[in-house]
Structure 1
Amino acid sequence: MAEPLPIERGSLRDLAYETLKRRIISAELAPGQRLFERDIAAELGVSRIPLREALRRLETDGLVLVVPGKGALVAPFTPADVRDLFDLRESLESLAARLAAERAGKEGLWLLRRRVREIEKATARADLSRIALANAAFHAEIVRLAANPLLTSLMRPVELRMQRLFHLTAERDIVEQCAEHGDLYEQIASGDGDKAADCALRHVADWREPSVTMALSWAVPDFDPDRVARARRRKRKQTP
């Protein structure tokens, strides 16, 4: 009987990366939560080497915080972090909407309209997880239609944080969000870059303070990575 082909380390690293990224973005893993390498490696069936490579990549993405000598934590997402994110979103997303309005063809607009329909269907079912995914896909589609490679590159780490934010704030007024996305689509479809940019800016700005307020519910008070790591490690040792 032939021996099974060995799994490449890169594949294991990618498996660990994609799995942890999905769990962090979906809020299955909460901000500040300790990531125990031994447990995760055993669960995923990988060794610690590809897992650590995945954690370093997630740290670059801003989703994981590695504390030297202590291990890794899910990166905190404080009210200040949310404000910083909205500062970038207000500038970059309004630019993306302007460019999309000026450059999107019929096929691109059809794809963007399909994203709006996905949001509408998820909203009708009040499926919060699906709404968060559909919202993120809608905004990513606008960036794609902007057809600016540099903007696309700049938006990648921003989009990962946006996806995480959408899941953490999934209980915002879903009907109003849905309507605003429909409005933004119409402005982009009109081909008027100024109106599309203004609509995108209003859409982002309107949700700034509600999102900052919601961040208080999941933020780790006075976040100290060393203290959190020590506390989680002690708790683990005490577990029978």
Structure 2
Amino acid sequence: MTGSGGFEPESERVTRQLRDEIIDGARTPGSRLVERELAAELGVSRLPIRDALKALVSEGLVTPRPRTWAVVREFAPTDIADFDEVRSALEMLAFRLAAQRRTRAGLARLRADLDAELSAAGSGDAVRARRAAADFHETVTSLADNELLNELEGTLRSRMRWFLGQHDDLMAMAKEHEDLYTAIADRDVARVEELVTKHLATGRSAAAARRKQSQD
């Protein structure tokens, strides 16, 4: 997010760049993040790098190490299981409330996210498809019209985007979102709950398959 007049503080720009590189898979789990090396790579002083690493630690994407370096977080099976338990409860609530409270303007935003995801998945653009998928989930939370739920989503946003990045079948995920969009548009709460249960199971399978792949 930029400040007044479009100015973005250097630390925020660096945080955003590193966050995107971690979520998009350009910086893999376990990769070293050394202040001095990152400063030279990104052409900035060490202070914005230090601020960025602190922010990414708080978002759950980076694990601190002694002194002036850190590593991209390696999510253990227990980390993923813990996240999945919390995510399942929040997602079910968000989608259910969205179906009950959605507005015409909100539906238009959700349709735009879905169309962007379908287009990217169709062209094989994995980064763009996964980002649009995450946008879809965040828009659903905004449609739920619950301020506390929005706050909770904000604290988990980076981990959620990382989790959605584990999906390899881009079109299958987009089609599940298309079905969810239709159910929300129809205010069909029972159908939404059924589809969310299936969607969460798909996410678990994708994360497990990616973890097995990385171990082989």
TM-score by length of 1: 0.80
What is aligned with 2:210? 214
| SS of the residue 1:35 aligns to | strand
| SS of the residue 1:95 aligns to | helix
Which of 150, 153, 158 matches 2:151? 153
1:24 shift after superposition: 0.9
Query: How far apart, in 1, do the equivalents of 2:203 and 2:19 lie?
Result: 24
What is aligned with 1:195? 191
In the TM superposition, what whole-angstrom CA distance separates every residue of 1:38-63 from its partner, at most 9, and x where no partner exists? Answer: 11112223222222121111100001
Q: Whose relative contact order is higher, 1 or 2, with alpha carbons under 8 Å and at least 6 apart?
A: 1
What is aligned with 1:186? 182
- Cα 1:193–1:13 shift into 2, 3 Å: same
Q: Are 1:137 and 2:135 counterparts?
A: yes
Q: Are 1:105 and 2:97 counterparts?
A: no
- Cα 1:197–1:90 shift into 2, 3 Å: same
> For the Cα contact (< 8 Å) 1:184–1:199, is it kept in 2?
yes
Which of 21, 24, 29 matches 2:22? 24
- Identical counterparts, % of pairs: 35
The one-letter amino acid paired with 1:76 is E
> For the Cα contact (< 8 Å) 1:103–1:146, is it kept in 2?
yes
> For the Cα contact (< 8 Å) 1:31–1:218, is it kept in 2?
no
Query: How far apart, in 1, do the equivalents of 2:167 and 2:91 lie?
Result: 20
| SS of the residue 1:186 aligns to | helix
In the TM superposition, what whole-angstrom CA distance separates every residue of 1:158-195 from its partner, at most 9, and x where no partner exists? Answer: 2211211233x242x23322221111111111113343
Q: Please, which runs of 5 or more residues in structure 1 have no aligned partner? A: 1-9, 222-240
What value does the CA root-mean-square deviation take over the aligned residues?
2.0
Superposed, 1:1-240 pairs within 5 Å as 11-69=9-67, 71-167=69-165, 169-171=166-168, 173-218=169-214
1:86 shift after superposition: 1.8
> For the Cα contact (< 8 Å) 1:79–1:216, is it kept in 2?
no
Query: How far apart, in 1, do the equivalents of 2:208 and 2:78 lie?
Result: 8
The one-letter amino acid paired with 1:183 is D
Displacement over 3 Å in runs of 4+: 216-219
| SS of the residue 1:28 aligns to | coil
1:71 shift after superposition: 2.1
Q: Which of structures 1 and 2 has the bigger CA Rg?
A: 1
What is aligned with 1:237? none
| SS of the residue 2:9 aligns to | helix
- Cα 1:108–1:17 shift into 2, 3 Å: same
